[in-house]
């Protein structure tokens, strides 16, 4: 029994990397353009929004929760910051702060409903998903917000590294992954996130304020969604009320593909980055192959089921 369970961690950590390599190899054989520096930097830019949302999603899933509202909350944040900057004429920095404030507030609401009223995260975030979507549509009149101040798009600009152009937003995403990796791995609050996902009752009995840990995780996730709003606005150059619809499930897919268990307490944040890259590579590769977008949705659906099945089966095998 020992030998078998001891093999699990490396497999769970290496699995996503292997899947990413296989996917890249496959698409490289299908399209000459896939492995060009230009295309790879495009993939990174396409991944940065979902990548940052997936950080927040990972934190929540590590506590054995789930957030179905992530993409819609992100869209609302984007509308708030673009509308505040254009119609209200706020300075861009203040408008951005308001947008991030709104997404963080949604995180706080999700967290309070989960910790204080003890509602299941699935139901809470299903509710806030619809609320955020409705507010986004009402507030924007379902209109795209254009004519943004130039400074809101800075993170979408690129710089040259050895022939490939890299967006500043991608650098920000990588920095956020590094900070989260450090926090989860090297600090006590990070370890408490894992402990809460592992065994909430045992964690509470050791004196850790588990409700505060949970609430903190939901608020932090909201903050990450806000940063993702900014990245989304910077990438597209507009405030889009229909943003976040693919990102919503893609973020969960990225987390699960990255090897984080939906049962909580297991997973590594860098796996999520790889998971987001897998999703990005599939979407990009299928597009290059000329596969219509509805098939990409189909493939994403199959991918997420495969990932959850692998998680479930490997845990059964370990017992």
Binding site for other proteins (CB under 8 A): 1-2, 5-6, 9, 182, 186-189, 191-192, 194-195, 198-199, 201-203, 205-208, 265-266, 318
Q: State the minimum distance, in angstroms, from the CB of residue 187 to other proteins.
A: 5
End-to-end Cα spacing for the chain: 8
Q: State the minimum distance, in angstroms, from the CB of residue 146 to other proteins.
A: 42
Q: What is the DSSP string of 209-231?
A: -HHHHHHHHHHHHHHHHHHHHHH
Q: State the minimum distance, in angstroms, from the CB of residue 131 to other proteins.
A: 34
Q: State the minimum distance, in angstroms, from the CB of residue 257 to other proteins.
A: 19
Joined together, the tokens standing for residue 109 give 């609401």
CA dist., res. 9 & res. 308, Å (int): 16
Closest residue by Cα to residue 78 from 55, 51, 49, 45:
49
Q: Indicate the residue among 4 and 33 with the shorter CB distance to other proteins.
A: 4
Place of tokens 């975030």: 125
145 touches 86 (CB < 8 A) = yes
Q: Indicate the residue among 101 and 183 with the shorter CB distance to other proteins.
A: 183
Instruction: Give Cα 230 distance to the centre of its chain.
Output: 14
Q: State the minimum distance, in angstroms, from the CB of residue 63 to other proteins.
A: 12
CA dist., res. 12 & res. 197, Å (int): 17
């Amino acid at each position: 029994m020992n030998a078998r369970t001891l093999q699990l961690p490396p497999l769970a950590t290496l699995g996503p990397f292997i899947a990413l390599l296989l996917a890249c190899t496959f698409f490289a054989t299908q399209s000459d353009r896939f492995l060009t520096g230009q295309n790879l930097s495009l993939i990174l830019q396409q991944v940065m929004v979902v990548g940052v949302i997936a950080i927040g999603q990972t934190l929540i899933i590590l506590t054995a929760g789930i957030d179905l509202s992530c993409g819609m909350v992100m869209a609302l944040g984007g509308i708030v910051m673009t509308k505040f900057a254009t119609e209200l004429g706020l300075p861009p920095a203040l408008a951005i702060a308001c947008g991030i404030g709104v997404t963080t507030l949604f995180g706080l609401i999700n967290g309070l409903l989960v910790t204080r009223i003890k509602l299941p995260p699935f139901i809470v975030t299903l509710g806030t998903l619809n609320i955020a979507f409705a507010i986004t549509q009402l507030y924007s009149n379902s209109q795209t917000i254009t004519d943004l101040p130039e400074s809101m798009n800075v993170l979408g600009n690129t710089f040259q590294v050895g022939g490939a152009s890299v967006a500043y937003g991608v650098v920000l995403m990588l920095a956020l992954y590094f900070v989260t990796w450090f926090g989860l791995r090297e600090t006590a609050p990070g370890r408490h996130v894992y402990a809460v996902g592992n065994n909430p009752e045992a964690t509470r009995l050791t004196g850790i304020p588990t409700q505060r840990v949970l609430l903190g995780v939901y608020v932090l996730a909201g903050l990450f969604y806000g940063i993702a709003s900014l990245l989304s606005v910077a990438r597209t150059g507009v405030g889009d009320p229909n943003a976040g619809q693919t990102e919503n499930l893609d973020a969960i897919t990225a987390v699960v593909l990255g090897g984080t268990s939906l049962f909580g307490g297991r997973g590594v944040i860098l796996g999520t980055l790889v998971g987001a890259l897998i999703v990005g590579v599939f979407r990009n590769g299928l597009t290059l192959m000329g596969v219509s977008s509805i098939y990409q949705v189909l493939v994403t659906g199959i991918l997420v089921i495969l990932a959850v099945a692998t998680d479930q089966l490997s845990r059964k095998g370990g017992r």
